[in-house]
Structures are given as structure tokens and as C-alpha cells.
Structure 1
Amino acid sequence: MTDGTAAPLYCLMFVSVFAFVSADQKNITAESGQDVTLPCQTPNNKNILTVEWSRADLEPKYVYVHRDGRFDPENQHTSFKNRVDLQDRQMQDGDVSLILKDVMINDTGTYECRVVQKGTSNKNSDPVCIVTLSVDPPDKKNITAESGQDVTLTCRAPNNNPISVLKWSRADLGDEYLLLYKNKQFETDDQHPSFRNRVDLQDRQMKDGDVSLILKDVTINDTGTYECIVIAGGGGRPKLINSTNLHVVPPGQTGGDTEDGGKEAGSVGLKVGLSVPALLLVAAVVGFLIYRKREKNKESRAVPDSC
């Protein structure tokens, strides 16, 4: 038996546990550079005082706060400035979904949405939605080129905003770069000496976001991973558009896919395949000439002397 206070206490514990596990939980995977919507729905938009989107691993933890009918930028984490907004600021039908623009790998994490309504306290309130976001890195491209060739490293930036900064770099070069476009001109102060007069944009007007780089007369020393970084609009943060692994080999070796001599074996096989028919042809010609010479000798011996 239990006393009269046990049942209310049990109900209170049950309600608390139910409130916690009933939070809507979702997993979302996005590609770097995309705009992502973190969905969240409350029963209705009546009496909503505050909507808080946060990430516990950040300091400050707030991604977006909507308070008293407007966006509250205080205590917002700097990495989300000018990148987040509610999908519907009117929050019709309880829609408090968050739009996160131009995601990057550092945006990977678990986001929580808390809603405070009239007559409730925001202290230690449970989240109504939990969204785990995973952001995949930009696509990596692999290019193999022969020494002496001109190579195009393709890159396309979003064309909805003008490009204010473009930088092509290679991780092992430190602070030096291949090409830097800034303040509507090309900078050369910290350009790596080995790339001077060897690089140019495929389209200097960068139409439709085309910021592909032409690398002329490549050498084996040009082997490495190249990164295309863009800042679009009047400001904002640098965005890695893509990276390209360039492998430069001696002439005649671009067809190979392995580094363990597989290509060399293929080349040797080709040479042998071509030399066998040639040897057979030579042998046939030599045999025919020997045969003709013997026949002539036989005919000369068969003819009697005229003396």
C-alpha cells in the first residue's frame, strides 16, 4: 500500500519525464554553403513571449533570440550574426523554425529551441525541439596533370552577391597565396614567388560566380591541395568553396591511377605489344630475302657454260 501523497508525486514525476522526452528531435545533414532550416513547431503562437535557439557547446550559447516581438542581438554568438532568422517572424500556427544561412563545418552541433509563454518562467525550461545538424565539408576534386601543362582549377561561388574578396591558397605555403583579389584589384605583395606570372582567373569578370584559376606550365613542385576562398557581398566571413588535390607527374604518365608502378607496367606492356608484330614482320622479310637469294644461286648453277 501507499499513502495518499504517493500518487500525486508519481504523476508529477511522470509529467516531467514526458515533457522532456516529448521534445521533437530531428537529424539533418547539409552540404557546406547551403541554407538550412531547423524545423520546430509549437502548439500555437498565442502568448509567445520569447523564442530561444541555442547550442550548449558555444559561449555564449545563443544562436537566435526573438523577444517581445523582435530580434534581440544581445548575447548572440558572433559566428551567427547576419546568418539566422525565423522562417516566419509572425510565428503563425506556432512555426518557430530557424533558417541558418551559408552553413559551414563549424555549424555542426545540436541546436535546442525553447519557447517562453505568458504565465511561465524561462528558467530551466525544457526544449520543445532538438535538432542535430551535420555539415559535410566542401567537395574535393582530384586532378592529375603532366609537367609543362596548363591546368584549370575549377571553382564556382554563389552568384547572388558580388565577390569582394577571392583568395586561392595552398596550405603548405603559409600566409603566402597564389592569387588574391581584394578591393576590386589583384594583390601581389604576399604572392608566393613560384606563382608570379603563372596564375590568372579563367574569367576576370567572375561572371556567374566563376572564380576558376588557371595555373600555367605546372611542375612537380606544384603538387598539393589548393583552396578557393571567397567573401561575398560588402562583408561577412571567408567561405571555403572547394579544394582541389593536384598531382603533377612527368610527361607521359597521366594515365596511371596507382603510385606503385602500375602505370609503368602498363607502359611496358604497351611497348612489348607493339614490338612483337614488328619483329615478326622483320623476320618474314629477312626470310623471304634469304629464300630468293638461294633460288637465284640454284638457277645460276643449273645453266651450262657457253664455252
Structure 2
Amino acid sequence: QKLLDVEPKNIHRYHITCLFHDSLCACLYSSALPSAANPVPVMTLVGSQVVLPCSWKDSQKEMSASGCHIQWMTPPYTVFEQLGEDRWQAAEYEGRVEVPLEKLNSGDCSLIIKDVQIGDTGRYESFLVVDGVRSQKSRVFIQSVKLSVTDHKSQKSLYPGDDLVLKLYTPHSFAVVFQSRNSSEWVNLWKRGDENDKRIEKHHQLEQLTIKNLQYSDEGIYKVLDEDDLSVSTIQLYITENSPSSRIQEKQQKILTDSAATSSCSALLLSVLLSCLQIIHLH
């Protein structure tokens, strides 16, 4: 159950019903706090860890770590709440969000989001829950943050016979699709739970996929998608005609062939010379 269930009254203060009747937040509100109209921009990549800043050191005079109530929202939905050691997380953020209690004690209410997903993109607002009038609780606005999450993008050039290693970046990666260089259609290559085969192999520990023994037909675009078909990564693959090792082998073979031809020619000349000497000797 959520720590709070509230309806907004205005952008800075809200009347709420507090489920923790014996808990108080000893915090003071300051009108100098950041405006919700000017969110702090934060950018990150899928699968990484991000910190949404929140500090109320300048606005509070005293604080009890066990009694301070912090709330993070993506309006109108609650993402995370913490009152002392009691925490609540929205289902889609389960196990991925926290506000460290030791930092909260020093005035740092920043929200840590682990394994960030494209779906986490949006506006986040933080609040403190304090005593209001008539024994009611009020929600005091602290900080607004605009989080932008983007997918990974890269290009690779490999050779026929090489292996392509695709990073999945997150356990939430669900499928890999492929678009050939000469096609506009997307083909499903892999989805989580598939068995490994001779061509495509999922690492048993790491979040990565290996496509073995590349051919020219494997040139194109590879996309890693999450369960909502949102892009985790996009890879443009180019297949180069000859690898350095192949060119070295060809050069070595040419040297051997030229050497053999030279040796054969030398042997023929020597044979002719010996024949001439024998004829002269007979005469």
C-alpha cells in the first residue's frame, strides 16, 4: 500500500491523508525553492543508472531521518515514497529506485533509478510531507526534473566469417530484429527465452548476443527492443570484402607462388646449361 493517497490542491502545497499518524517531518518550506516550470534536465542511456537531483539543505532547519517523508512523482502518478525505513515503489520501478537514508539525513533527497528504461522518460517532481493546518499533512514542492532516456547507437565494420557481438544492455531487452541492406522489412532474429543454436548464442551470464560466422547477407541494421517494442540499441553493420588476415594470406601465397615459379625457371636454365656443357664436352 502507498504511504500516501493524495489529490493536488495547487502546484506547491497539497492536503493529504497520512497513513503514518505518529510520524512528523521537521522541515521548513522556503519560497526560494526551484519552480516546477523550470525542471532540471537530465539525460542518460538505456540500462544505465541515473540520479535525479533533490536537495533541501537550504530550506530546512532541522531534520529527523526516521521521521522525514519524501515523495517522488511523475504527475499524477507516484513513483516512490519513503518515511524513515518504510518505502513504497510503483510496480514498474520495483527494485530500481531508492533514496539512500544516510544521504536523506544530510538533506540529499535525490532519487536513484537503476537500469533506466526508455519508458522512464518524463517529468519527475519531488515533495516533502510536512505538518499542515488543522492536524492535516501538506505536501511541499522541492524539485522538478526532466529525464530524457535514449537508446544506444553505433556502427560496426566486420569481415565475412567474423562474429557480431550485440550488447543487450539490460535484462529488460526482449528481442532483436534485423533489416537487410536491400530490404525494407524487419525480420525477428531472437527473443528472450529462445534456445541457443549454431548461429545465434545468448551469453549465459552477460547481457549480450553473438551472431556467428557473418556473411555478406548479414549487412544491415540490427535493433534490440524491450517488451514494449521500444528501442534499446541500434547497430548499423557493414561487411567488408576482405579481412586483413585474408590479405596477408593472399600475399604470402603469392610470394610462395612467385618463389616456386622462380625456382622452376632457375632449374630449367640450369638444366639447359648442363646440357650445353655436355654437348661441348662430347665434341
Q: 1:177 aligns with which of 180, 185, 188?
A: 188
**Equivalent pair of 1:179/1:186 in contact (CA under 8 Å):** no
Query: Does the CA contact (< 8 Å) of 1:169 and 1:178 recur in 2?
Result: yes
User: Which sections of structure 2, spanning at least 5 residues, go unmatched?
Assistant: 1-28, 244-283
Relative distance call for 1:115 and 1:206 in structure 2 (3 A) is same
**Match for residue 53 of structure 1 among 67, 72, 75:** 72
Report 1:212-291 matches (<5 A): 212-219=210-217, 222-228=218-224, 242-247=233-238
- d(CA) in 2 for partners of 1:164 and 1:99? 18
Alpha-carbon distance between aligned partners in 2 of 1:211 and 1:109, rounded to the nearest angstrom: 30
Q: 1:206: how far off?
A: 4.6
Identity of aligned residues (%): 19
Residue deviations 1:230-267 (CA, integer Å, cap 9, x gap): 89xxxxx9996532123568x68x9xxxxxxxxxxxxx
8 Å Cα contact 1:164-1:182 kept in structure 2 = no
Counterpart AA for 1:242: S
Q: Per-residue displacement from partner, 1:262-292 (whole Å, max 9, x unpaired)? A: xxxxxxxxxxxxxxxxxxxxxxxxxxxxxxx
Q: SS of the counterpart of 1:226?
A: strand
The structure-2 alpha-carbon separation of the partners of 1:181 and 1:37, relative to structure 1 and needing over 3 Å to count, comes to closer
Checking the alignment, whether the CA contact within 8 Å between 1:114 and 1:129 is kept in structure 2 is yes
Per-residue deviation, 1:30: 1.6
Q: Could you tell me how far 1:33 is from its partner in structure 2?
A: 1.5
Q: Is the partner of 1:106 in helix, strand or coil?
A: helix
Q: Calculate the TM-score normalised by the size of structure 2.
A: 0.55
CA distance in 2, matches of 1:228, 1:33: 12
What do residues 101-127 of structure 1 show as CA deviations (whole Å, max 9, x unaligned)? 11123322221100012346555x442
* Aligned amino acid, residue 45 of structure 1: M
Change (3 A) 1:155 1:213: same
The equivalent of 2:256 in structure 1 is: none
Q: Distance in 1 between matches of 2:205 and 2:88?
A: 37
Deviation of 1:153 (Å): 2.5
Cα offsets for 1:113-142 (capped at 9, x unmatched): 00012346555x442112222223212224
Where do residues 49-88 of structure 1 align in structure 2 (5 Å cutoff)?
49-56=68-75, 61-67=77-83, 69-73=85-89, 76=90, 78-88=91-101
- Greater Rg, structure 1 or structure 2? 1
Counterpart Cα distance in 2 of 1:229 and 1:179: 10
SS of corresponding position for 2:81: strand
| Corresponding residue for residue 148 of structure 2 | 134
* Number of aligned residue pairs: 203
**Structure 2 CA distance, aligned partners of 1:226 and 1:112?**
36
SS across alignment from 1:72: strand
For the aligned residue pairs, the C-alpha RMSD in angstroms reads: 4.1
Select the structure that is richer in strand.
Answer: 2
Assess, with a 3 A threshold, how the Cα gap between structure 1 residues 186 and 165 changes in structure 2: closer, same or farther.
farther
Measure the CA separation in 2 of the matches of 1:165 and 1:101: 15
TM-score under structure 1 normalisation? 0.51
Post-superposition Cα deviations, 1:19-70, rounded to whole Å, max 9, x if no partner, equal: 56567953222222111111212224338553110112xxx51111224641
Structure 1 residues 69 and 208: alpha-carbon distance in aligned structure 2, compared to 1, 3 A threshold: closer
Give, in angstroms, the shift of residue 212 of structure 1. Answer: 2.9
2:181 is the counterpart of 1:186: no
Structure 1 unaligned spans of 5+: 1-15, 188-196, 232-236, 255-307
CA contact (8 A) 2:34 2:144 kept: no
In 2, distance between residues paired with 1:79 and 1:168?
22
Deviations 1:213-243 (A, max 9, x none): 2253332xx4432124589xxxxx9996532
Q: Secondary structure at the match of 1:154?
A: strand
User: Aligned partners of 1:111, 1:88: CA distance in 2, in Å?
Assistant: 20
Q: 1:95 aligns with which of 77, 101, 108?
A: 108
Larger helix share, 1 or 2: 1
Confirm whether residue 29 of structure 1 aligns to residue 43 of structure 2.
Answer: yes
